[in-house]
Amino acid sequence: MSDPYAEQIRRLAAALAAGAADDLAAVLAAGSTPDDVRLFVEGNRSKRLEGLRAALAFLADAVDDLDPLLEAYLGRGPLPAHVTPRDDALRFLAWAERAADLSPEQLDHVVCQRARLRVEAAATADRAGLLAFQALREAGADLDPDDPDVAVHLNPVRVWARFATTALLDDDAAVPADVLFFAADGDIVTAVLEAEGQALLEEFADLAPCSLESWSAVTQHADREELVEICQDLAGMGLVAFGPIPAE
């Protein structure tokens, strides 16, 4: 059975989202006019544009004519229900990648911007995990990763991205390059990992949190002494932290 109120709001929302102010003239209260609706619609559009500009600030440094692209994207129509401003920015990036005439270097900025937004999304989605990891970093800074009673924990907020050019890398970096984006010290940090380091990290992601002894027992990528050194380096970057062995 259809819900008359749901149907009414569906019609009103569709007209408001489409900016069809004149279509609403017959359902406006006395004293309200389509011009008032247009003011509302324009205000919403401006807020959405401001939100996109803010979310895409990094990309704006690389794409001089970002505003016309944003306008073109907004012209494609309203957002589906429940899409957040961050998702709006991610949708823009997906659209721009397909529809805009971007250079390979600009496309790497798109990749980077997307990774940054995905780190933020991951931090929002697993806020409890991020807070717990940050607490471990503070409390376990002086712990010895080689201590059998100490577990190595992996930062839960991390995203991989692949750069095709050196636009955002050192000039002599090998491309394509896989770059890890992760949350550390209230910011987004990146690390370029070669194939061996990437394999080591992916292996650890399946084990963590665990003692270095446990990791050392299964890995083919490094001996124990090297693992201690790697863990200390990664801890310095904010990618791993040391803490108690979790209860089974």
Partner 1 sequence: MLPAIGYALWRENRPALASPVVTAAEITFERAEDPLNRPATFDDARLDYVSLHALRLSPASPEPPAASYLDALLSMADEYGADAVSDHLGFTRDGSGGVELGHFAPPPFTAEARDATCRNLDAVQKRLAGRPFFLENIASLFYFQGTMTEADFLAGVLERTGCGWLLDVTNLYANGRNHGYDAEAFLARVVPVAPRIQMHLSGGFFDEKAGRYIDSHSRPVPDAVWDLYRHALRLGRGKVEAVFLERDLDFPDEATWLAEVAQARRIAEEVEAAS
Q: Under the rule (CB under 8 A), what is the footprint of partner 1? A: 3-6, 8-10, 12-14, 16-17, 24, 27-29, 31-33, 35-37, 39-40, 43-44, 47-48, 78-85, 119-121, 123-124, 127-128, 130-131, 134, 157, 183, 186-188
Q: Find the angle CA(62)-CA(120)-CA(159) to the nearest 5 degrees.
A: 80
CB 168 within 8 A of CB 190: no
Beta carbon of residue 35, minimum distance to partner 1 (angstroms, whole number):
7
> In the complex with partner 1, which residue's Cβ is closer, 181 or 215?
181
3-class secondary-structure state, position 181:
strand
Compute how many other C-beta atoms are within 10 angstroms of the C-beta atom of residue 133. 24
- In which order are the strands placed within the sheet that holds 240-244? 210-211, 150-154, 240-244
**Integer distance in angstroms from the first to the last C-alpha of the chain?**
50
Beta carbon of residue 201, minimum distance to partner 1 (angstroms, whole number):
20
Beta carbon of residue 194, minimum distance to partner 1 (angstroms, whole number):
26
Residue 41's identity, in one-letter code, is: V
**Cis peptide bond prior to 176, omega within 30° of 0:** yes
Beta carbon of residue 91, minimum distance to partner 1 (angstroms, whole number):
11
Beta carbon of residue 6, minimum distance to partner 1 (angstroms, whole number):
4
> In the complex with partner 1, which residue's Cβ is closer, 14 or 174?
14
> In the complex with partner 1, which residue's Cβ is closer, 99 or 135?
135
Residue 176's identity, in one-letter code, is: P
> In the complex with partner 1, which residue's Cβ is closer, 77 or 98?
77
